[in-house]
Amino acid sequence: MKIQPLLLGLWILPELFFGLCYTASFNDFAFPDDSSVVFTYNRSPEIEHQCRTFLSSPLELKLYDDLGFQLKNELSFFNGDWEQEIGGAPIVPFDDSDMPMDSSSLTSPWRLVSFEVKDVNPVHLSQNTVSLRGVLTIGISRNSTFLSDSASNFHMRPGMSALRVDFEGVYIEREENGGERLACLLGNSTLPIRRDDDHVSNMENNFDMTYKREPQLMQNDQILLVLRYPKVFNLTQRAIRGEMRSLTERGNFEYFDNIYISAQLGGHTNYQFSSEQLMSKTCDTTPLEDEMVEDSVNMFESSEICHVLKRFTKEFYSIAPNLKLSGSGRDDHSNRLGPFLLGRDIKAVDRSYKNFRLVMQNVRCEQENLENKSSDARVSAVLRLYPATMDGYVAAVRSGLSGMTLSVEGTWNSSKGQLCMVGCLGVLGSGYDSRITMYFPRSLSNKQRSIISGSITSIKTGIDSDPPILFGAVMRFPNLWFDHSWYCKSFLSYNYSMTALASAFKERSQPSKLITTVRQLLLTYPAMEDREELIGRLDFLAHDLYIGAFIGPNLLGYGHMPETFVQINVLSLGPLLGRYDHLVYRDGSLVGAPADISKSAALNVSLDLVFIEAPIKLREKSYNHVEKLYLEGLYDPLAGEMYLIGCRKVVVESVNVERGLDCLIDVKIEYSSETTRWLINPTATITITSQRNESDLLYFSPISLQTFMIHDRKHAEHVLFRKIFEGALRILLQSVSVALILSQFSYMKKNSEVIPYVSLVMLALQIFLYSYTLINNSEILFKSSESNSYKKRAYSFVEYQTFLKVLDYTGKLLVLAALILTTRLFKLVLKSRRLLIARGVSKSRRVPNDVRVLLVTLAVQSCWLMFTRLIQFGEMLNLGKDPITLHGYVQQIWTLKLAIYFRMVQDFVPLPQIIANRLWKTRVINPVRKAYIHGFLMITLLLIFYDNVRDRVDYPV
């Protein structure tokens, strides 16, 4: 354990840096600051008049050097909430044209407000006051915090509107409400308005919510803002409440309805924890008692729990109903989700609660100073409920308090490994209505994937109690490489509990021994490489087993865009949990791992499988019933197959399922061979089968799917090997072509009487074939199969470029040699026919005429083009990808037609000679050597076979 504090420090330092960058990125105003601005205070009489109610009885304000710095930090807040009275005079319009007409979002746009103190002036407006200058940004946003635009105090675009108001005022402290700090300010801005001479009084028409044009702006300095801050920051007093109202009369264009602001005190304000007696009564482990025994718990010391909690601040928690304790209290179908009160902007709630998430923010953690409790800690935080459709990072930086926030405080008990807290709902926080219990599992399993587990139950009893809920933070896979590596090594282990079931599944599913032996001799599959460290070998194999690709039931003839994406992440592989981080695993060792593991040994593995489907599926079935599966089992590296037991979450109260999981699911994943990946793109086949009876409520039909191209770590090496292979194949086949032409020369010299009966059409087409290749500088015999997207991406094999060029030039020299030889053959046949005419011939030896041969050849070729090649015309043309002119379009079509004809001529080199033999019917039996025709036919068949076997070179998604 001595190494853990060092690792903890190494873990926290980069997180602090990224956290500061993250916070800054979300706390920027919609309008950037101008450092050249000199703040002036010239509205003192107006401020004194409008704020006279608050200035009548201020408390004594002590001035000190750091007061200005302190007020800037403590009075500023970001991304709070605001609401406006419904009176027909909204303060900002909103353009919702960014949303499709048929969309059904769970939430309305977010109403965000931020306030930042820019300057603190010690010059007093009156006794016990301090002058302030600040900026308030208020607006409506659908999918982000505000964006910058320095051109105006107001800007609007589809999905976002923001207004900046500059304020000047005073800060005082008062006794009211148990002691409060108050800022009273007057604002100045250019407010958006719309003039309508015919309907001046109808202000609702002035701000249509489907705003389609920019509003007019009007200067307005009659804006009053009052912000109230609690003087004591504790569980029930953390809310910043504010009111902004117009000082102009209703009916004026500058008037707007009253606005109410809600936020919470930030990290610069000191927090006061409640009494020990209150906190000692908060713990109730009943909802999690069985799980805590089964999972075992981490019993952090106070320093560790504080670091861990702060590290997991803004972690996203999934929630679910507690089926063991359900059935009492309020109806689950009401406007509540556990203790949370769903706002009017929430339009739907799913029974499985999958439409909502929890995030913990504003965590405060202090070590207990009491005797014999040095390992305990006191914790305060805010739990925020938000729709899953909202960006989790945006939800994590919101500071408003409402019915969807729960202010919590409690104590970490290191001897029991549990955090017990009470919670207050909303802004007022008048009572402790909820009990929160959390623990940190020591082990993960197929039925338990949470690194943090907790429950929320109601302190109240009877019909007024809230339905209990469970929540947990699962291991999110982008964080396996960065955030969770240290935590996995120090505080987590994986319990493989499905090994026996997976072994039985493997025995049932394996093919015959003969097939298995042949596969093992000829093919290889993803396996551990020969590396020094076991942890490195396991980590590379975990990367190789990752799947992220589109998927479908049958990829043969797949003629439409795929509608389902599958993602399979490896959680653990053998003794490795998470991912390898060289900073964490400096010694390269794994606790409890064997010294070495054979490359051929079957490995325990756990994975997460997630289906991501298109919102509307037109051609494919939905896999929503197996949307997310927890998988555990065995991976056989000799066969490239996984035999897994799957668990899925279900909410069926009438079925007895442990922890709400249906684990009677068999899943088999088959990876394609690495031996053929240079030729055939890597894919995987996934089969999901329910082991329940068809009459069972949780039964589902078997699912068999195949992925498109999956990730391949050695993809570049395979592409290079294919390039070298294809270059060598071109040289080999072109050498055979030259040899066939030379053999025909030899045959004609020995049998001079056959020379006139060699088809000139065949030789002319061969000359065209070779000339086209050389003139266009195109690839010989067959084109490379690189996709357009692959060609556009920058890639190079610098060290092999010279070798690849040598292969290409060698092939071109052989094409030139074939062109010269074929031309000589053409001349020899032409000369022989002229001599035959000059000597005169009998009826039995007519001079061959190639006109009919040419016509029949063209007819056959036309039919071939009609029924085969033109089918591929649209795919090969690939129009619509890039802008193209009419001239370019015509040129592209003719180039494509020529390429198609070139390919067809290459496929049917001996065709004119076969036609000539049929038409001429001469006594000459074999004018062309059989080996010549058969040789070119074999080359053609080989090229067709290779072209149909190989996949096109592409990048995985």
pLDDT, mean of residues 414-425: 90
Confidence label for 352 from pLDDT (cuts 50, 70 and 90): low
Q: Which of 104-118, 395-409, 594-608 has the highest mean pLDDT?
A: 395-409
pLDDT tens-digit series, residues 369-390: 655 556 789 999 999 998 888 8
Pick from 872, 727, 713, 755: which is nearest to 812 by CA?
A: 727
Domain boundaries along the sequence of the chain: 26-31+41-264, 276-474, 499-707, 715-949
Hey, how many other C-beta atoms are within 10 angstroms of the C-beta on 732? Answer: 14
Q: What angle do CA 14, 20, 21 make, to 5 degrees?
A: 90
Q: What are phi and psi of 603, to 5 degrees?
A: -115, 140
Distance CA 390, CA 396 (A): 10
Tokens describing residue 185: 């300010």
Q: Which of 121-135, 209-223, 245-259 has the highest mean pLDDT?
A: 245-259
Quick check: 282 and 421 in contact, CB under 8 A?
A: yes
Q: Quick one: how far is CA 769 from the chain centroid?
A: 48
pLDDT score of 4 more than 50: no
- Residue 74 is inside which H or E element, if any? helix 67-75
- Residue 349 is predicted with a pLDDT of 54
Q: Comparing C-alpha atoms, which of 781, 874, 759 is closest to residue 826?
A: 759
Dihedral in degrees, nearest 10, Cα atoms 856, 859, 863, 869: 100
- Lowest average pLDDT, out of 391-395, 413-417, 865-869, 873-877, goes to 873-877
For residue 788, pLDDT over 80 is answered with no
Confidence of residue 22 (pLDDT cuts 50, 70, 90): very low
Q: For residues 153 and 121, is the Cβ–Cβ distance under 8 A?
A: no
Tell me: the pLDDT tens digits for 293-313?
A: 888 898 998 888 998 998 888
Q: What's the pLDDT at 875? A: 46
Give Cα 122 to chain centroid, integer Å.
Answer: 51
pLDDT for res 437 = 92
Using the predicted structure, report yes or no on whether residue 845 has a pLDDT greater than 50.
yes
Report the C-alpha gap between 287 and 437 in whole angstroms. 9
Helices (DSSP H) in 269-341: which residue ranges? 276-279, 289-295, 302-311
Q: d(Cα 858, Cα 867) in Å, to the nearest integer?
A: 14
* pLDDT beyond 90 at 608: yes
Distances in Å between the Cα of 953 and the Cα atoms of 426, 599, 602 are: 57, 29, 32
Neighbours of 842 (CB within 10 A): 6
Give the pLDDT confidence of 616-666 residue by residue, as tens digits: 777 788 898 999 999 999 999 999 999 999 999 887 655 667 788 899 999
Q: For residue 454, give every residue at least 6 positions away whose Cβ sits within 8 Å of its Cβ, in sequence order, or none.
A: 288, 317, 419, 436, 437, 438, 439, 470, 471, 472
DSSP calls for 144-157: SS----TT-SEEEE
Kindly report, residue by residue over 159-185, the tens digit of the pLDDT: 888 999 999 999 999 988 778 999 999
Percent of the chain with pLDDT over 70: 77
pTM of the model: 0.79
In terms of phi and psi (left: phi > 0; alpha: psi -120 to 50; beta: otherwise), the region of 951 is beta
**246, pLDDT greater than 50:** yes
Please check the confidence at residue 433 and state whether its pLDDT lies above 90: no
Residue 10 has pLDDT above 70, yes or no: no
Task: Return the pLDDT at 505.
Answer: 95
Query: Token pair of 948, please?
Result: 């149909």
| Overall average pLDDT of the 547-564 stretch | 77
Please state which of the ranges 557-561, 810-814, 933-937 shows the lowest mean pLDDT: 557-561
Whether residue 404 contacts residue 425, with contact meaning beta carbons closer than 8 Å, is answered with no
Confidence at residue 429, expressed as pLDDT on a 0 to 100 scale: 58
* 543/11: higher pLDDT: 543
Q: For position 29, what pLDDT does the model report?
A: 46
Q: In this predicted structure, what is the pLDDT of residue 761? A: 87
Q: What is the mean pLDDT of the chain?
A: 81
For residue 794, is pLDDT > 60?
Answer: no
Residues 431-446 have a mean pLDDT of 89
The total of other beta-carbon atoms located within 10 Å of residue 654's CB is 5
Q: What is the pLDDT of residue 603?
A: 94
